[in-house]
């Protein structure tokens, strides 16, 4: 309720007339793509009939009639053509084809976890493109090209390319009719449009200018400014996701608003009038859209910004809702695929929240004598987060409990960092030196964003699980709707966002016991198809890490959940990607005493990567030798093997596995044998060496592969077997043969693909297993 002191403030009266039609066209595209194209036609016909009846009754419903026509003709036609395109039949046969294409968007890297000698990282790109053909029936179809990253990453929007590959069916529910899997470079490449070449050079210039910063901020600055995430650290990417700050990594309305406001302010400061300032800002908007590329959220923001600037030039500044509705109507009509694009939905919802919810919340807090600056700082992130929470929950399967606070703390530096980054981008072709100093000026702001995301992600329970998919999003929307209805008459309206998220998330979290379990001795982290073991010491927050998994984010998250912030030693059993690929995740934000390796130095790329990451983090490398004993309070580790390095310049995978460091640790839950990926040869060597292999817990070699000797397992005599393995992996791990040997020996088998993070604790004088979100299982 607004107090008398604010009675002079006139409430904004929004123009809603265009919004129903816009939502109808959006619904037509959504139903036509997800269910059947005939539903789009039916919805359009109903709208035309209903609108016509209302017009005859003397009501102003022409917008509904026009929306019905658009839904029944261009939208339905486009959806029908995509659903019945001849390429779909060709794709179903999965034959080899040669297609002429025009690239629609910038190539998007596809990151994949490494395994064995194959490194972690982006090995492929996805390139949206449209077919070009003299045959009208084959022309204009949207195709996704899946191609090698090195040979396709420099392709620009607007380029004509000829590609040769296997045509496969596309997923349903979109405008894409087929996927072309290409193994080599394009057969032929045409020249890109001049403006796209300039935009590409500008993006490269920003990456080079950002190179003066440390690796993490150097990768974040281009992502923040132009949505270029190629150099973004996987750890930072994951921390932004958990903290609810991922929207900063995708160019959206906020980026365009910052650029346009900066240009408007500059032109008005130079004495230009509203029309001249709006024209200048419009030119900056168009240039920025070309720079970052035609992504769904960018298109939405660009069209809405253009409409808003036009309204400003015409003296109608309060036209936000008509501008948003016109944007939806125009873009979905031109490209019905946007109706099912998550980025488009997030952008529209966030904009609607800032227009409809945030001002009301600001006035409600002002009525309670909250300063306007504080009220706006609270209301804007809360409104945006509340409006987008159902979509985010459905997409990610998580709800962030720290997003509002994290975005509130991060907000003050976003605009300066963006403006400085844009200036560096523009200046780079003329003066790389000046661009570098502009990037340096943006460095503290980018460092602050990383620190905020890291702090927020490290908060216990920062993000909690939630059902994913459409039903998960609908459930979150329903719960939020009920809470808003129930709370609108009680307390401050601004509390709704925070209370809603908490009340949605807490019931999900309390179903599971606390993690980590008290007195844990060893944890097998769920890092997918790879190894990452954590051994507790007597010091709180201090643990030894053995192997780091294939990617940085999973092991970083596991250590965060365990509360480990000090790692006296990281042991890399051998240099295969599924054991060293995540090393950066262990090093991120933690005090690490050293990185220990055995005799192996192959593959060479992995050894070079480990040395580079150790050098960048200022962490020394340590060589382990058999017979060495490492001691910390509450933990002793004995090194059993290997003695010798691999033979030859290019040893095969088996030889590298057999040079794994094998350790036996004395923990509070008993002895633990850590076997790396040793196969039959190394196992036989251990058996004949006379080394004492007995242990209560064994980390089964090589993810439970078939190359595990029953005699080796028998000599260990373990009561608990940990199998670190990825769900649905293509290697057949764990082997039914190995599992059978363990079952016949009555060994309790705990698999990370089934139980997630798996802890061993001491119970009744022996080891017991606790899986994250599960119950104790004594052997």
- What's the mean pLDDT in 679-688? 94
Predicted pLDDT of residue 435 = 94
Confidence band for 771, pLDDT divided at 50, 70 and 90: very high
Sign of CA dihedral 388, 390, 396, 402: positive
Q: Which of 179, 110, 178, 203 is nearest to 148 (CA)?
A: 110
- What is the rounded distance in angstroms from the CA atom of residue 546 to the CA atom of residue 488? 52
- Encode 63-99: b = buried (16+ Cβ within 10 Å), e = exposed: bbbbbbbbbbebbbebbbebbebebbebbeeeeebeb
Q: What is the pLDDT of residues 696-719, one digit of tens each?
A: 999 999 999 999 999 999 999 999
Predicted pLDDT of residue 485 = 66
Predicted pLDDT of residue 395 = 78
- What's the mean pLDDT in 727-754? 93
Looking at the predicted structure, is the pLDDT value of residue 8 above 50?
no
- The H or E element spanning position 122 is strand 121-131
Tokens standing for 564?
């480990």
Predicted pLDDT of residue 171 = 87
DSSP 703: G
Confidence band for 506, pLDDT divided at 50, 70 and 90: very low
- What is the rounded distance in angstroms from the CA atom of residue 543 to the CA atom of residue 561? 13
Predicted pLDDT of residue 249 = 83
- Encode 469-480: b = buried (16+ Cβ within 10 Å), e = exposed: eeebbebbeebb
Looking at the predicted structure, is the pLDDT value of residue 332 above 80?
yes
- For 546-589, the DSSP string reads E---SSHHHHHHHHHHHT--EES-EEESS--HHHHTTHHHHHTT
């Amino acid at each position: 309720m607004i107090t008398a002191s604010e009675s002079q403030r006139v409430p904004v009266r929004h123009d809603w007339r265009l919004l129903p039609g816009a939502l109808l066209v959006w619904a037509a595209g959504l139903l036509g793509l997800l269910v059947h194209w005939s539903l789009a036609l039916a919805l359009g016909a109903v709208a035309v009939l209903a609108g016509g009846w209302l017009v005859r009754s003397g009501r102003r419903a022409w917008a509904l009639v026009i929306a019905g026509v658009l839904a029944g003709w261009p939208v339905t036609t486009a959806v029908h053509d995509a659903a019945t395109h001849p390429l779909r039949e060709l794709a179903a046969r999965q034959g080899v084809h040669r297609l002429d294409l025009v690239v629609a968007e910038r190539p998007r890297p596809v990151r994949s976890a490494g395994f064995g000698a194959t490194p972690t990282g982006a090995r492929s790109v996805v390139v949206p493109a449209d077919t070009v053909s003299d045959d009208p029936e084959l022309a204009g179809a949207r195709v996704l090209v899946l191609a090698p990253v090195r040979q396709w990453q420099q392709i620009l929007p607007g380029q004509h390319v000829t590609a040769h590959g296997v045509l496969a069916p596309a997923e349903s529910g979109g405008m894409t009719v087929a996927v072309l899997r290409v193994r080599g470079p394009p057969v032929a490449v045409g020249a890109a449009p001049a403006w796209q070449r300039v935009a590409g050079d500008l993006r490269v210039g920003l990456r080079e200018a950002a190179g003066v910063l440390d690796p993490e901020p150097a990768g974040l600055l281009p992502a923040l400014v132009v949505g270029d995430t190629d150099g973004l650290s996987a750890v930072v990417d994951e921390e932004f996701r958990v903290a609810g700050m991922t929207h900063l990594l995708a160019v959206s309305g906020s980026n365009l608003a910052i650029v346009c406001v900066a240009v408007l302010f500059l032109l008005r400061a130079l004495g230009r009038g509203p029309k001249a300032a709006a024209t200048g800002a419009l030119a900056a908007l168009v240039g920025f859209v070309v720079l970052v590329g035609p992504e769904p959220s960018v298109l939405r923001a660009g069209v809405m910004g253009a409409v808003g600037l036009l309204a400003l030039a015409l003296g109608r500044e309060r036209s936000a809702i008509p501008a948003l509705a016109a944007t939806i109507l125009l873009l979905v009509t031109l490209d019905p695929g946007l109706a099912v694009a998550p980025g488009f939905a997030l952008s529209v919802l966030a904009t609607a929240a800032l227009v409809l919810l945030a001002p009301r919340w600001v006035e409600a807090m002002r009525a309670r004598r909250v300063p306007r600056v504080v009220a706006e700082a609270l209301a804007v992130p809360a409104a945006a987060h509340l409006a987008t929470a159902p979509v985010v929950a459905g997409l990610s399967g998580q709800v962030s409990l720290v997003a509002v606070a994290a975005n509130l703390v991060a907000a003050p530096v976003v605009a300066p960092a963006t403006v400085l980054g844009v200036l560096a981008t523009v200046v780079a072709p003329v003066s790389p030196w000046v661009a570098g100093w502009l990037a340096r000026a943006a460095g503290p702001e980018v460092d602050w964003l990383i620190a905020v995301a890291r702090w927020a992600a490290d908060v216990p329970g920062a993000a909690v699980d939630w059902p994913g998919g459409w039903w998960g999003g609908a459930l979150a929307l329903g719960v939020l709707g009920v809470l808003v209805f129930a709370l609108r008459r009680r307390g401050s309206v601004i509390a709704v966002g925070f209370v809603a998220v908490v009340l949605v998330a807490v019931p999900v979290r309390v179903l599971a016991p606390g993690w980590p379990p008290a007195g844990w001795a060893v944890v097998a982290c769920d890092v997918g198809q790879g190894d990452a073991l954590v051994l507790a010491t007597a010091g709180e927050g201090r643990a030894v890490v053995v192997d780091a998994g294939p990617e940085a984010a999973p092991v970083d998250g596991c250590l965060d959940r365990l509360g480990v912030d000090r790692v006296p030693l990281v042991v890399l059993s051998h240099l295969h990607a599924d054991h060293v690929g995540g090393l950066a995740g262990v090093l991120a934000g933690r005090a690490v005493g050293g990185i220990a390796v055995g005799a192996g130095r192959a593959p060479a790329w992995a050894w070079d990567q480990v040395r580079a990451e150790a050098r960048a983090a200022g962490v020394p490398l340590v060589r382990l030798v058999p017979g060495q004993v490492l001691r910390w309070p509450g933990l002793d580790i004995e090194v059993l093997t290997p003695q010798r390095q691999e033979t030859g310049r290019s040893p095969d995978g088996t030889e590298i596995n057999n040079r794994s460091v094998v350790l036996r640790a004395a923990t509070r839950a008993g002895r633990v044998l850590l076997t790396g990926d040793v196969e039959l040869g190394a196992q036989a060597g251990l058996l004949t060496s006379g080394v004492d292999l007995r242990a209560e817990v064994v980390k089964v070699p090589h993810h439970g592969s078939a190359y595990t000797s029953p005699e080796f397992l028998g000599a260990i005599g373990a009561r608990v077997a940990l199998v670190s393995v990825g769900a649905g992996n293509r290697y057949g791990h764990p082997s039914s043969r190995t599992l059978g040997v363990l079952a016949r020996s009555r060994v309790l088998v705990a698999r990370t693909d089934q139980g997630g993070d798996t802890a061993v604790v001491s119970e009744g004088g022996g080891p017991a297993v606790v899986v994250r979100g599960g119950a104790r299982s004594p052997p």
